[in-house]
Amino acid sequence: MAALELAGVEAVVVSHDKSMFPQFIYNANAINSSSVIGEKEHEMSIHNIADIKETAEKSQNIVRGKITGLCYTFSDGIAYTVAEVHVSDSLKGSLMPEDIISLYYVGGFAEVQDYNEFYGISGGEQNKYYKFTVPGYPAPEIGQDRLFFLSASSEDFAVPEGGFCLTSGQSSVFSPSDDGESFTGNGETYSLDEIKKFIK
């Protein structure tokens, strides 16, 4: 699959106005069960590293943060979910607490009319959407407080300059314990001290 041409896209999404971006931007509030008319799977393989030590080594930033907003984009035939993440702690990299970043997930929604136009299909309703999923890839939700292993680029898809993606799919997102001293993800639990030892 060819790399997506997303250069020049603003990373932090501050508006859902389509005219501001070269790809389509959809307001999450406009998408609901009655507006989604079908589901599709993106036929793409997401590079997944099972070993947390290797994931930590390959990650440019490792942060804890909360997802406070979502919007959806469709570019070059690929649907993305863009999560606005407020960073609360940084274990690796240049990001700092209180930073707000745009985290790109593969999968999301595309308006039927935009999808059909891209693939040369006639017709298509406005304000009706297809939902796109990638097997084994996490789906973000508003309010999630997570430890994220992040990169500024991906082996699997392009990321706009200034944005971030998960280093290794589902093995890049860990849920904190109530006391914040351990994190669980990809079927494994690690203490905060163990994770810090993996960081170089």
**pLDDT tens figures, 47-77:** 667 788 999 999 999 999 999 999 898 888 8
Q: Is the pTM of this model over 0.85?
A: no
pLDDT(22) > 70: no
How far from 21 is each of 3, 13, 112, 150, CA to CA, in Å?
A: 18, 10, 19, 24
Which residue matches tokens 């693939």?
A: 119
Residue scoring higher pLDDT (3 or 190):
190
Nearest to 54 by CA among 151, 132, 123: 151
What per-residue confidence (pLDDT) applies to 39? 94
